[in-house]
Amino acid sequence: MMMLSNNLNTYLILGVFLLVAGIYGLIQHKSFIGMLVSTELVLNGAGVNFMAFNRFLAPDPAVGQVITLFIMGIAAAEAAIVVSFILAVFRRYQSIDPNEVKELHG
């Protein structure tokens, strides 16, 4: 019997699932925090993909780990920045609903 944990496609499909879940959440969430959380899901899917290619295809297994660590660093910086954005927006509009923050709405 073929082992699923030793098959590249299992990991790639998991990465696709994380990406799609992130896209779904990004569109249908009704608050900035929910959208930020969905973005984290997308970045996590990218990390899973890089690690899968690193394990099965890459000539040097350090490369994928390096890229995944960079993704983690970028995600941490992005979360800090966006939370402070949310703080500033909440201070000005008293709301974290994207539908209510529409001063520049055309």
Partner 1 sequence: MTFYQTIAEGLFFAFILLVILGSILTIRTKILMHTVLGLAVAFLGTAGIYFYLGSMFLTLMQILIYVGAICIVLVFGIMVGYTPTEVADKTIKDWRNKFLAIFSATTAFLLLIACVLKTDWVPALAENRDFSITHLGEEFLYTYCLAFELISIVLLVAIIGSIILARGGREDEYKTIEHLRSAKGNYPNDDAQ
Give Cα separations from 74 to 24, 39, 40 (angstroms). Answer: 22, 12, 10
Residue 37: closest CA among 82, 68, 95, 69 = 82
Amino acid in the structure at residue 69: L
Q: Write out the binding residues for partner 1, residues 9-48 only, by CB under 8 A.
A: 9-14, 16-25, 27-31, 33-34, 36-38, 40-41, 44, 47-48
| For partner 1, the closer CB: 88 or 106 | 88
Rule CB under 8 A: choose which of 5, 104, 105, 106 binds partner 1: 5
Least distance between partner 1 and beta carbon 29 (Å) = 8
Are 57 and 20 in contact, with CB atoms under 8 Å apart?
no
Give me the 46-65 binding string for partner 1, x by CB under 8 A, dash otherwise: -xx--xx-xxxxxxxxxx-x
Q: Is 106 in the site for partner 1 (CB under 8 A)?
A: no
Q: Is 87 in the site for partner 1 (CB under 8 A)?
A: yes
The pair of three-digit structure tokens given for residue 106, joined into one six-digit string: 């055309």
Residue linked to tokens 């927006």: 89
**CA distance linking residue 69 with residue 90, whole number of Å:** 32
Least distance between partner 1 and beta carbon 22 (Å) = 8
Q: Is 7 in the site for partner 1 (CB under 8 A)?
A: no
